[in-house]
């Protein structure tokens, strides 16, 4: 393992129960990264997805891919604690096999394009289990400044009138 959960938490803002990567196995700056997600029956979502037939939700597989790619990008950014990466689009998402407790997801993310001045990045990802493709997608994200670009809090409906 190249980097463990302690090193990941120094870069990513995510925390339990939404930190969905456990380690980094390979990394090539600005180009490629391989993350690991150990899928455990203790994950809270397995209580309801699905009772008696636990399957990791596809959206969480995509989120694991995004966090892996986010790690690659954020570690290169000065003052990263003041930045967030937002999803802009998810294209060509395909799910090829269920991911179940006991599986280890290998999350391979490749940078397709990076527009540093605009803060946009496009990544292609593949999630595999024992070499078998579980999911793939192309993700696009935008880096935003945490303090100036946070969306305003929702206004309660009765005050909006």
CATH code of 32's domain = 3.10.129.10
**Catalytic residue IDs:** 49
User: For 13-39, how does the pLDDT look when each residue is reduced to its tens digit (9 = 90+)?
Assistant: 999 999 999 999 999 999 999 999 999
Closest Cα partner for 112 from 130, 124, 100, 98?
124
What is the domain count for the chain?
1
Q: Which domain covers residue 55, as residue numbers?
A: 5-160
- pLDDT bracket for residue 153 (50, 70, 90): low
**pTM metric for this prediction:** 0.90
Give the list of residues 6+ apart from residue 112 with CB closer than 8 angstroms, or none.
122, 123, 124, 138
Predicted local confidence at residue 1, as pLDDT: 82
Percent of the chain with pLDDT over 70: 92
Average pLDDT for 91-118? 95
Q: Is the peptide bond before 17 cis (omega within 30 degrees of 0)?
A: yes
Burial of 148 from C-beta contacts in 10 A (0-12 / 13-18 / 19+): exposed
Average pLDDT for 129-135? 98
Predicted local confidence at residue 146, as pLDDT: 84
């Amino acid at each position: 393992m190249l980097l463990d959960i302690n090193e990941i938490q120094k870069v990513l803002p995510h925390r339990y129960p939404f930190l969905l990567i456990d380690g980094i196995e390979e990394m090539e700056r600005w180009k490629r990264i391989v993350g690991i997600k150990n899928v455990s029956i203790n994950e809270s979502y397995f209580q309801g997805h699905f009772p008696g037939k636990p399957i990791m939700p596809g959206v969480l597989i995509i989120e694991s891919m995004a966090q892996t790619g986010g790690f690659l990008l954020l570690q290169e950014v000065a003052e990263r604690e003041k930045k967030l990466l937002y999803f802009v689009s998810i294209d060509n998402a395909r799910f090829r096999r269920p991911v179940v407790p006991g599986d280890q997801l290998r999350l391979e993310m490749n940078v397709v394009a990076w527009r540093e001045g605009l803060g946009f990045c496009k990544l292609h990802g593949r999630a595999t289990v024992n070499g078998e493709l579980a999911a793939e997608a192309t993700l696009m994200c935008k880096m935003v400044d945490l303090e100036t670009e946070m969306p305003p809090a929702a206004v309660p409906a009765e005050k909006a009138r």
